[in-house]
Amino acid sequence: MRFLIFHIILFFAFSLSAQEPSDMDTVRIQEVIVSGRPCLYGSASKATIVDSLVLRDYSHNNISDVLSENASIFIKNYGSGGTATISLRGTGAGYTKVDWNGVSLNSPMLGQSDLAILPSGFIDEINIYYGGASLFLGSGGLGGTINLSTRPVWTDQSDFQANLSMGSFGKYSAFLKARTGTENFQSSTKALIQTSKNDFPYINNFVPGEAATERRKNSSTNQNSFMEELFFKGRNHVITARVWYQNTFRNIPVPVIIQQPENGENMRDETLRSIVSYSTYRSKTNLSSSLSWVSDNMIYRNPILSVNSKNLSNTLALKSDMERHIDEKTSYYVSINDELDLIKTVNYDGRKYRNTAGLTFSLNHKISNRFDVSLLVRDQLSDNILMAPDFSSGLRFILDKNRNSNVHFGISRNSKLPTLNDKYWNPGGNSLLKNESSYTGELSYEDSWKISPELVLNGQATIYKIQIKNMIRWTPGNYGYWSPSNVDRSSSYGAEGNLGLSYCYNRFSIKVNAKYSWNHSSLINSSAGEDIIGKQLIYMPEHLINGSLRASYKYLYLSWLSAYTSKRYTTADNSNWLSGYNLNSMSVGANFHITGHMIDISLKSENIFNASYQTIAWYPMPGRSWYISLIYQFSK
């Protein structure tokens, strides 16, 4: 019963983590809210949260900036404003799902998401589900799933916030947020206009002649984004409607090793995402249904190559789920979903579609006060072909309930459908591809120690191993084009750990957090020969270290973040690599409250030591940059 009450309280009111000064901490999965309703998750799976306190510092940044600085996650970034894709636990971008309130944002054509066009100011919380934990949100996240969530605040208070920012390299941003309503109705409106020239200087010592300072060309970005959310709450039900429109135009810079054109490649991405959901809550049963539609119109132009590539994808998804608590110890969850992808592109031979249905069953059982188990089974039917079922199971042993000290172990199987580009790209697409599938095992230990009433230390360590088989790889074929096939098997193993220390006394608080991740990912079987077997996969760093310090005293606050990324190999035989780099950023600010009004002014410097680095070969990244931000908030 306490479990149920806990979730109901969570749902009906509140983002506790958003209100408390918490950092990005490892949490028990049962404590996470997705899509505004309570959920069951496998107890053996790891999930972490980036909360609103961290996101506050990034209201003018995108999700890739947040994750690269605050999580031990490698973001493959083509430069400021350029495409940014995520790599979880040594798996590629195609193996990490990105969801918005449970709705997939991954392109059905490409199978991945571009984090650079997702503004963090629109998001209230980022949940990172590793390995088997992602199965609850659907199959395909072999490395994991990033869920971007928004949520209502059920009060009769209205808030208006205007956030203006300007900074180096011609970056200007205006972000507006308005919230109004009652205890039963909430409206949340967010709008962002952002532009950046991105003409940052870099030292070019790659081309003929003396090294010279040049400026990046054809790198500007413009983004307009709007989100409206409506929430209606009845006695035991909630109706939610969400719409998110984005229009992004980006010039695409070339690697500095070739001549930089003034008017080169560019890409316009226009996206409309919408979700309507209904949830009802009874004493022991929660029911929820949602209908979503994601439309993405991407136009890529390359005037030099005379390419004008138009790609329109529409995805309709319907999901219904039921959660039932049999007693205090046992609960189960059933979910059924159907997703229809419709694609119209010049790159396929005609219009293509794919229909995928899924059924999920999850069972959680507390064997004793110290021991609980979970099992999740999920199967998919794609284009009338029944797939091998996925599963996630786990055991958790609680060492000390008062201290949140526990050990958990989990194994899972996950599978990923081939992307529609893999199947239908013309020429080369292979409609006979099999699913890629993975087996993951992980062992985690978590603990916290209250040293004094003001001082709390928490820590977590995880080891894991992932094996992916039937990996799809594009290889050169008989003609002058490439074709995909299921040819490789890969193995990824590693460890993650973090330590956090928080101290709070009167109006002074400080939080220090350190994260480390080690990963070795390599092919264990490949048609491409023995020479690359066992070698670290390209663009997969072995070591990631993050450190953060956040402090506040009265109306002043300060944060310092440091992130180290080790070298990344750029060739499959590991003969070439990019050096590791360490980035530091600092933010100082003050906020003043005057009877319903709040003014916050802050100064932020990124890459404060002006490190010269590349995340992708020949794509320089910006040096030291400065941003000033002014926030005005009115509450009534």
Residues lying near other proteins in the complex (CB under 8 A) are found at: 205-209, 254-255, 257-259, 304-306, 405, 427, 445, 447, 449-451, 457, 459, 461, 463, 473, 475-476, 478-481, 494-495, 497, 499, 516, 518, 527-529, 531-532, 538, 542-543, 566, 570-576, 617-618
Torsion of CA 614, 615, 620, 622, to 10 degrees: -100
Find the shortest distance in angstroms from Cβ 133 to other proteins.
21
Between 588 and 617, whose beta carbon lies closer to other proteins?
617
Between 299 and 495, whose beta carbon lies closer to other proteins?
495
Count other C-beta atoms under 10 Å from residue 95's C-beta: 28
Find the shortest distance in angstroms from Cβ 261 to other proteins.
10
The separation between CA 284 and the C-alpha centre of its own chain, rounded to angstroms, equals 32
Return the ∠ at Cα 594 (arms to 593 and 597), rounded to 5°. Answer: 80
Find the shortest distance in angstroms from Cβ 566 to other proteins.
8
Between 407 and 601, whose beta carbon lies closer to other proteins?
407
Residue 169 near residue 187, CB atoms below 8 Å: no
Find the shortest distance in angstroms from Cβ 455 to other proteins.
10
Find the shortest distance in angstroms from Cβ 94 to other proteins.
16
Between 148 and 538, whose beta carbon lies closer to other proteins?
538
C-alpha–C-alpha distance, residues 432 and 430, integer Å: 5
Find the shortest distance in angstroms from Cβ 72 to other proteins.
11
Structure tokens at 136: 């609850």
Find the shortest distance in angstroms from Cβ 449 to other proteins.
4
Find the shortest distance in angstroms from Cβ 614 to other proteins.
10
DSSP lists the bridge partners of residue 272 as 245, 295
Structure tokens at 165: 């920012």
Between 371 and 577, whose beta carbon lies closer to other proteins?
577
The separation between CA 85 and the C-alpha centre of its own chain, rounded to angstroms, equals 9
The one-letter code for the residue type at 500 is: G
Find the shortest distance in angstroms from Cβ 109 to other proteins.
20
| b/e sequence 520-542, b meaning 16+ C-beta within 10 Å | bbbbeebeeeeebeebbbbbbbb
Structure tokens at 462: 């995880």
Residue 256 near residue 618, CB atoms below 8 Å: yes
Find the shortest distance in angstroms from Cβ 30 to other proteins.
23
Between 200 and 518, whose beta carbon lies closer to other proteins?
518
Find the shortest distance in angstroms from Cβ 235 to other proteins.
46
How deeply is 394 buried, as exposed, middle or buried, from its count of CB atoms within 10 A (0-12, 13-18, 19+)?
buried
Between 358 and 497, whose beta carbon lies closer to other proteins?
497
C-alpha–C-alpha distance, residues 551 and 504, integer Å: 10
Q: Which residues contact 610 (CB under 8 A, 6 or more apart)?
A: 623, 624
Between 538 and 631, whose beta carbon lies closer to other proteins?
538
Between 62 and 444, whose beta carbon lies closer to other proteins?
444
Between 16 and 528, whose beta carbon lies closer to other proteins?
528
Find the shortest distance in angstroms from Cβ 626 to other proteins.
30
Residue 457 near residue 447, CB atoms below 8 Å: no
Between 306 and 595, whose beta carbon lies closer to other proteins?
306
Count other C-beta atoms under 10 Å from residue 282's C-beta: 11
Structure tokens at 411: 């194994």
Between 186 and 444, whose beta carbon lies closer to other proteins?
444
Q: Which residues contact 128 (CB under 8 A, 6 or more apart)?
A: 47, 48, 49, 50, 67, 71, 73, 88, 144, 145, 146, 147
Find the shortest distance in angstroms from Cβ 635 to other proteins.
41
Between 239 and 617, whose beta carbon lies closer to other proteins?
617
Asked, as a colleague might, if the bond just before 427 is cis with ω within 30 of 0, I would say yes
Find the shortest distance in angstroms from Cβ 618 to other proteins.
4
Residue 204 near residue 256, CB atoms below 8 Å: yes
Residue 615 near residue 85, CB atoms below 8 Å: no
C-alpha–C-alpha distance, residues 226 and 158, integer Å: 19
Between 8 and 457, whose beta carbon lies closer to other proteins?
457
Find the shortest distance in angstroms from Cβ 49 to other proteins.
20
Radius of gyration of the chain (CA): 24
DSSP lists the bridge partners of residue 460 as 446, 498
Question: Of 301, 303, 244, which is closest to residue 270 (Cα–Cα)?
Answer: 244
Could you tell me whether strands 307-325 and 330-345 are parallel, antiparallel, or unpaired per DSSP bridges?
antiparallel
Q: Which residues contact 422 (CB under 8 A, 6 or more apart)?
A: 111, 429, 430, 433, 472, 484
Q: 77 φ, ψ to 5°?
A: -125, 125
Between 334 and 443, whose beta carbon lies closer to other proteins?
443
Return the ∠ at Cα 159 (arms to 157 and 160), rounded to 5°. Answer: 160
C-alpha–C-alpha distance, residues 7 and 284, integer Å: 12
